[in-house]
């Protein structure tokens, strides 16, 4: 389990170093998790130590919202000043995320073959074909 935690921290460190070296406007931990994802794709499996640590962190994910809540309270005056811009940004980003997700889902659906239900005749294919 210690090895898994070390692997996650190492990925975060590499992400931070990449951000410092390149100056990309992405948080280091996010870039580190992208690196971890690429490594997991290359090795085609998730090591048990990384899986166990990840599951443990996800079980306590709610605790990670405490600093964000404190940050909201600390910057409440600034938030009250820019609430409209924040609200518009949240709504637009949510809409764009939903739109992109739907488009990717449709695109991937075109590349995949028929589902088990469509092959057995239980489900009609999209587009009204019979």
Per residue in 62-75, pLDDT (tens digit) is 887 888 888 888 88
The reply to whether 72 and 22 lie within a common domain is no
Quickly tell me which residue has 């166990």 as its tokens.
52
For the entire predicted model, the pTM comes to 0.55
User: Does a structural domain hold residue 74?
Assistant: yes
The reply to whether 40 and 79 lie within a common domain is no
> What mean pLDDT do residues 87-111 have?
94
The reply to whether 117 and 89 lie within a common domain is yes
> What mean pLDDT do residues 29-54 have?
93
- pLDDT surpasses 70 at 130: no
* Averaged confidence pLDDT in the chain: 88
Query: Given 37, 59, 81, which residue is the final one in a domain?
Result: 59
User: Does a structural domain hold residue 37?
Assistant: yes
> What mean pLDDT do residues 26-50 have?
92
b/e 40-72 (16+ beta carbons within 10 angstroms → b): eeeeeeeeebbeebbeeeeeeeeeeeeeeeeee
Q: Which band of pLDDT confidence, cut at 50, 70 and 90, is reported for residue 121? A: low
The reply to whether 54 and 71 lie within a common domain is no
Position with higher pLDDT, 51 vs 113: 51
User: Does a structural domain hold residue 128?
Assistant: no
- pLDDT surpasses 80 at 36: yes
- pLDDT surpasses 80 at 99: yes
Q: Which domain holds residue 32?
A: 1-59
Query: Given 59, 85, 102, which residue is the final one in a domain?
Result: 59
107 vs 99: CA distance, rounded Å: 12
52 vs 5: CA distance, rounded Å: 9
pLDDT score, position 62: 86
H-assigned helices in 23-82: 28-43, 48-59, 65-74, 76-81
pLDDT score, position 125: 60
Phi-psi region of 113 (alpha: psi -120 to 50; beta: other; left: phi over 0): beta
The reply to whether 54 and 76 lie within a common domain is no
The reply to whether 17 and 55 lie within a common domain is yes
The reply to whether 51 and 81 lie within a common domain is no
User: Does a structural domain hold residue 35?
Assistant: yes
User: Does a structural domain hold residue 130?
Assistant: no
Q: How many residues does the chain have?
A: 130
What's the structural domain count of the chain? 2
């Amino acid at each position: 389990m210690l090895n898994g935690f070390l692997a996650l921290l190492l990925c975060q460190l590499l992400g931070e170093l990449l951000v410092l070296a390149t100056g990309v406007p992405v948080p280091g931990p996010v870039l580190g998790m992208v690196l971890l994802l690429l490594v997991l794709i290359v090795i085609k499996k998730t090591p048990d130590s990384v899986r166990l640590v990840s599951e443990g962190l996800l079980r306590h994910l709610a605790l990670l919202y405490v600093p964000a809540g404190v940050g909201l309270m600390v910057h409440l005056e600034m938030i009250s000043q820019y609430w409209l811009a924040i609200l518009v940004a949240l709504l637009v980003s949510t809409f764009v995320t939903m739109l992109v997700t739907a488009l990717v889902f449709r695109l991937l659906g075109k590349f995949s073959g028929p589902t088990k239900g469509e092959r057995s005749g239980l489900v009609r294919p999209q587009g009204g074909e019979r």
